[in-house]
Amino acid sequence: PSHSPKKLPRGFHEKASSHKTQRLVSVCQMFFLDYYCDMFDYVISRRQRTRKVLEYLSQQKALKHIDNDILNSEWSGYVYKEHEILRKRRLKPKHKDFE
């Protein structure tokens, strides 16, 4: 480590190899993996849900000639539900609450 060409502050390696730092680093890496898995999962699921709803609405329109107002209100009902889910994501307990 002493051959490192990078400019590191004195005592860096002692601190870096300490149990506490090592633990923080792995917690941080896990946090990000977890976050991005969860975030992509959400984005993908949401797109799939939306696609299904749009497919359903256009089918309804084509087959049964349902009134546009009804379809629009069904769509806004769906959007409202998604909105609630997203708001819950913002408020959900995070990692830091358990540390």
Residues that bind other proteins (CB under 8 A): 4, 6-9, 12, 15-16, 18, 20-21, 24-25, 27-33, 35-37, 39-41, 43-47, 50, 75, 78-79, 82-84, 86-87, 89-91, 94-96
Closer to other proteins by CB, 22 or 59: give it: 22
Tokens 């087959």 map to which residue? 63
| Closer CB to other proteins, 67 or 81, in the complex | 81
Tokens matching residue 52: 């299904």
Minimum gap (Å) between residue 65 Cβ and other proteins: 24
Q: Which helix (H) or strand (E) holds 60?
A: helix 19-64
Nearer to other proteins, 46 or 67 (CB): 46
Interatomic CA distance for residues 57 and 60, integer angstroms? 5
- How many whole angstroms separate alpha carbon 69 and alpha carbon 80? 16
How many C-beta neighbours within 10 Å does residue 13 have? 12
Task: In angstroms, give the least distance from the CB of 38 to other proteins.
Answer: 10
